[in-house]
């Protein structure tokens, strides 16, 4: 069954040649080949300010570019977020984008009384694809994938996304062309399957 898929390319460097961009294209191509409806957000090309106060986050209207991204998120049934691991976490630009986009009233609603906030983005699944210089097993074992788990649990599940799956692509700087091609094929297959 075809899905409405949104790909969020979270690499802050818009120049071609970044492996995250190639992975995003591979997912896009696989999804299109299978007949899924696919849209993309390239975070490095979205013009938005960083939030600096809780008032900005909770009360001020989101910029027009962010409202367009929110419309795409509302449209999507499945979201794919790709980014490189920088200083053990997502790049600041992607974090700033998520802060702007996943605002109260759009991503969640404050609870009345003492209940939990209402998850306004329920019914959508997510695939996270993270690239890094260290071995993926080392990131998962030694660092316990803390930043990935935080994104999964504290941001995406908090807003209602389920299931939230992830791929960790390690040692990207030292990969051979053949190894890069294997990962591109895997990601294209994920796109084909809409997963």
- Please write down the HEC assignment for all residues of 40-82: EEEHHHCCCCCCCCHHHHHCCCCCHHHHHHHHHHHHCCEEEEE
Looking up residue 157, the CATH number of its domain turns out to be 3.40.50.360
9, containing H or E segment: strand 4-9
Residue 164 belongs to domain spanning: 4-193
Question: The tokens of 105 are what?
Answer: 């009233």
The structural domain count of the chain equals 1
In whole angstroms, give the CA distance from residue 25 to residue 72. 18
pLDDT tens track of the chain, all 195 residues? Answer: 899 999 999 999 988 889 999 999 999 999 999 999 999 999 999 999 999 999 999 889 999 999 999 999 999 999 999 999 999 999 999 999 999 999 999 999 987 777 788 999 999 999 999 999 998 988 888 878 889 999 999 999 999 999 999 999 999 999 999 999 999 999 999 999 999
| Preceding peptide of 163 cis, ω within 30° | yes
Cβ within 8 Å of residue 68, ≥6 positions away: none
Q: What is the pLDDT of residue 52?
A: 95
Q: Do 83 and 130 meet the contact criterion of CB atoms below 8 Å apart?
A: yes
Number of CB atoms found within 10 A of residue 17's CB:
7
């Amino acid at each position: 069954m075809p899905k409405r898929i949104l790909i969020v390319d979270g690499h802050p460097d818009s120049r071609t040649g970044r492996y995250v961009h190639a992975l995003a294209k591979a997912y896009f191509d696989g999804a299109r080949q299978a007949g899924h409806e696919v849209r993309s957000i390239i975070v490095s090309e979205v013009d938005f300010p960083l939030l600096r106060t809780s008032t900005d986050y909770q009360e001020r209207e989101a910029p027009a570019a962010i409202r367009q991204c929110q419309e795409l998120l509302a449209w999507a049934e499945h979201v794919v977020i790709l980014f490189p691991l920088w200083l053990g976490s997502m790049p600041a630009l992607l974090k700033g984008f998520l802060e702007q986009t996943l605002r109260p009233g759009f991503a969640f609603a404050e609870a009345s009384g003492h209940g939990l906030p209402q998850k306004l983005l329920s019914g959508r699944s997510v695939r996270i694809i993270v690239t890094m210089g260290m071995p993926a097993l080392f990131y998962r074992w030694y660092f316990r994938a803390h930043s990935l788990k935080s994104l999964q649990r504290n941001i995406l599940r908090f807003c209602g996304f389920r299931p939230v799956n992830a791929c960790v692509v390690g040692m990207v700087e030292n990969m051979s062309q053949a190894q890069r091609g294997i990962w591109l094929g895997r990601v294209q297959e994920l796109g084909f399957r809409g997963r």
